[in-house]
Structure 1
Amino acid sequence: MSSLTDTGIRDEAVSAWFVEHIDGVRGPVRLERIAGGRSNLTYLATDEPGARWVLRRPPLGMAHSRAHDVLREAEVLDRLRETPVPAPLVAGRCDDDAVTGAPFFVMNHIDGVVLRDPETVTATVPDDHRPAVATALVRALADMHAVDPRDVGWGELADRDDYVSRQLRRWSTNWAEDRVRVLDDIGRAHDRLVERIPVQGPARIVHGDFRLDNCLFSPDGTIGGILDWELATVGDPLADLGQLLAYWAHPDDEVCALENPPTRVPGFPSRDALIEQYLAAVRPDTVPDIDFYIAYNWWKIACIVEGVYTRTLRGAMGASDRSPESFGAQAERLAAQAWRYAQRL
């Protein structure tokens, strides 16, 4: 069996698995790490004639972590198969760690571009098309939140109304139990948020990481696929809106959730415009406390990036284009931002 390198893939074993389990594959299969995500590891798989798939596995050393359960992510995608939500189709899954050291699943490859940074936006989306990209993003979010969880086999969660409190507890526990330092701003922002949780409306599917660079855009500006469903569950849909707004950087923002945010170029609408579009699409019975959900998401993003800092220090992310110290400094900025927003509530 081929050895497991810092890429997280045993090439020969995974290639053989593809040939045996994925319809239409003609080996050998080449696997290449796809840059971008800092959570589950993602790879482009290409067979001999050139057909392509995408493989997802957990970070190195975290094969059975609840926070990186790729087989659960595949189950989420299966639930969405018959809905209007643009999501990849699962082609196969493997729960045998002997193949490549961790569970993994394979999904179909979707052609399109990920608007990951300003350079990609500038090269692919003209200024006058950027409002339409934002509209497509908000429309996709509203369409996802229109799906009744009961219709996709999630009825057991559909009556719960404590999503935010559960998320605050989960992320705080993850941070406290697996950290290499203490960031006071994370702790104090958490305490303020716990005191001010709004009453939850009807439960809907929550993506958990909804933002521009987690979508694949087709050449006509439509969304071919929403990616990275590992955090998806049923809960408060406004958490997704708050996440989108926290990541939606303006050109003059001093602190950004991403180091090089794609929306920091001219032509994109403001955060207020996104809120107006979303509320017009979902028509809530009452005006929601969106400021809370923005503050909550700054806090959650700080917890996530602090987790990435910890994992990169331990070498669990394999080869990276950034140093652990850069993630540590980013987490400090995000934690301070979360506390600034939390104080306004």
Structure 2
Amino acid sequence: MGGKAEANRTIPVREGEDFDREKVERFLRENLRDLGPEPLEVSQFPAGASNLTYSVRIGDWEAVLRRPPLGPVPPKAHDMVREATLLSKLHRVFPLAPKPFVICRDSSVIGAPFYVMERREGVVLDDAFPPEVEPTEELCRGISRTVVETLVKLHAVDWREAGLDGFGRPDGFLKRQVGGWIDRYHRSRTDEIPEIQFLTRWLADHVPESPAPTMIHNDFKLNNMLLDPEDLTKVVAVLDWEMTTVGDPLFDLAVSLSYWVERDDPEEMKDILPTVTPLPGFMTRAEMMELYARLSDRDLSSMHFYMTFAYFKLAVILQQIYFRWKRGQTRDRRFASFGERVRRLIRHAAELAERGRL
């Protein structure tokens, strides 16, 4: 799930993940104006374990193409048309969301619907800072604050005014999420994990009442943010809006914090979630929650449940990827270790549930 910090660089397209470039170039020229005479050039963004993302360039014009992963995907997942349509509305009120240029609903072009959006340049922080950057405690604390402030701003978007009320069903959201993610786990199950029965029963029995609904990203984390190379405490863009909906903002916060590893976390958790956040200066999860509560004026007294659920959700996401790898639907070798990562996350979430507190 990681990779070094880069100014969102690209690599040659991985084997088996290319597409018919002639068809794509024809589609682009038919639907976009002022493209130069140069041939289409394609490279791939190497990070991410779900949707496939490419740089497409014609002369001086450059954009990003996003498509679903190869092989069968869960129902309603990886919906590129929905994602692009949502971004076209959200971009107007939350400019950190990239602007889509064109949507291709015709699966015959590359085998699935896709869309093309603006490309923004910035730094993605995974498990290392760029070599030219000294990660001072002041910088790390500033980045922590930026992460929380950006999430608070997203949750402050007036989604009804922006015409986004069709992108979610906030009533009963959290209960549906719990049931849905438990179901996803069982449909992609591969190995026997002893703690799963206790954990899923505990989650189903302890769903709290949600606060007022907001726009939620649903996968908000440090490496889904593009940071300004000149000042890493400034955000250039927030990426990967596939799962965005109207729902419970505390669920969004917990999902974000499930990726936020602390210095004193067990080594096995650090191995699962490689990130820069254990470095001195980064806020703890408790400090992030305190800042979010102060800036948003929301009650976080139920965060123990939300964090337990967030770790389970992360385990299910990895399990779905591992399931595709084990069935040979993807050949990406990064996914071979995901089975053990799932086991550790399930165990961690079960221990958190049993402990009864954060």
Q: TM-score normalized by structure 1?
A: 0.90
Alignment CA distance shift 1:22-1:297 (3 Å): same
Q: Report the residue type matching 2:255 in the other structure.
A: Q
CA distance in 2, matches of 1:236, 1:122: 38
Secondary structure at the aligned position of 1:210 is classed as coil
Aligned to 1:237: 249
Aligned to 1:297: 310
Alignment CA distance shift 1:287-1:332 (3 Å): closer
Aligned to 2:51: 40
Contact 1:70 1:105 survives alignment (8 Å): yes
Secondary structure at the aligned position of 2:102 is classed as strand
Q: Report the residue type matching 1:164 in the other structure.
A: L
1:155 to 2:165 alignment: yes
Alignment CA distance shift 1:257-1:278 (3 Å): farther
CA distance in 1, matches of 2:57, 2:327: 30
Q: Judge which range, 156-165 or 333-342, deviates more.
A: 156-165
CA distance in 1, matches of 2:309, 2:132: 33
CA distance in 1, matches of 2:49, 2:168: 30
Alignment CA distance shift 1:185-1:316 (3 Å): same
Contact 1:149 1:158 survives alignment (8 Å): no
CA distance in 2, matches of 1:230, 1:96: 19
Deviations 1:293-325 (A, max 9, x none): 11110000001001110112234345x25142x
1:253 to 2:265 alignment: yes
Contact 1:249 1:263 survives alignment (8 Å): yes
How far the C-alpha of 1:16 sits from its partner, in A, is 2.4
Aligned equivalent of 2:240, options 225, 228, 231: 228
Long gaps (5+) in structure 2 = 1-13
Secondary structure at the aligned position of 2:64 is classed as strand
Secondary structure at the aligned position of 1:107 is classed as strand
Aligned to 2:129: 120
CA distance in 2, matches of 1:264, 1:305: 22
Secondary structure at the aligned position of 1:44 is classed as strand
CA distance in 2, matches of 1:66, 1:157: 13
Q: Report the residue type matching 2:303 in the other structure.
A: I
CA distance in 2, matches of 1:14, 1:72: 20
1:7 to 2:17 alignment: yes
Contact 1:78 1:89 survives alignment (8 Å): yes
CA distance in 1, matches of 2:236, 2:321: 28
CA distance in 2, matches of 1:94, 1:339: 42
CA distance in 1, matches of 2:83, 2:116: 11
Deviations 1:226-284 (A, max 9, x none): 11111111110001111121111112321148442221222212112111111111012
How far the C-alpha of 1:169 sits from its partner, in A, is 1.5
Contact 1:115 1:213 survives alignment (8 Å): yes
Aligned equivalent of 1:339, options 324, 345, 350: 350
Contact 2:106 2:112 survives alignment (8 Å): yes
Find runs of 4+ consecutive structure 1 residues off by over 6 angstroms.
Answer: none
Aligned to 1:108: 118
> How many residues were matched structurally?
337
How far the C-alpha of 1:121 sits from its partner, in A, is 5.5
Contact 1:247 1:257 survives alignment (8 Å): no
Contact 1:7 1:33 survives alignment (8 Å): no
CA distance in 2, matches of 1:121, 1:194: 42
How far the C-alpha of 1:176 sits from its partner, in A, is 1.7
CA distance in 1, matches of 2:308, 2:188: 23
Q: Report the residue type matching 1:290 in the other structure.
A: M
Q: TM-score normalized by structure 2?
A: 0.87
Aligned to 1:270: 284
Aligned to 1:171: 181
Q: Judge which range, 156-165 or 224-233, deviates more.
A: 156-165
How far the C-alpha of 1:159 sits from its partner, in A, is 7.4
Aligned to 2:154: 144
Q: Percent identity over the alignment?
A: 32
Long gaps (5+) in structure 1 = none
Q: Report the residue type matching 1:246 in the other structure.
A: S
Aligned equivalent of 1:56, options 66, 69, 79: 66
Aligned to 1:311: 324
Aligned equivalent of 2:301, options 288, 294, 301: 288
How far the C-alpha of 1:126 sits from its partner, in A, is 2.9
Alignment CA distance shift 1:24-1:95 (3 Å): same
Q: Select the structure that is richer in helix.
A: 1
Aligned equivalent of 2:212, options 188, 199, 202: 202
Secondary structure at the aligned position of 1:322 is classed as helix
Deviations 1:126-172 (A, max 9, x none): 31211111111111100111112212223357773321111112122
Aligned to 1:31: 42
Alignment CA distance shift 1:93-1:157 (3 Å): closer
Aligned to 2:10: none
CA distance in 2, matches of 1:64, 1:183: 22
Contact 2:104 2:114 survives alignment (8 Å): yes
CA distance in 1, matches of 2:57, 2:333: 23
Contact 1:85 1:143 survives alignment (8 Å): no
Secondary structure at the aligned position of 1:253 is classed as coil
CA distance in 2, matches of 1:24, 1:183: 55
Q: CA RMSD in A?
A: 2.2
Deviations 1:9-35 (A, max 9, x none): 222222222222233333422222211
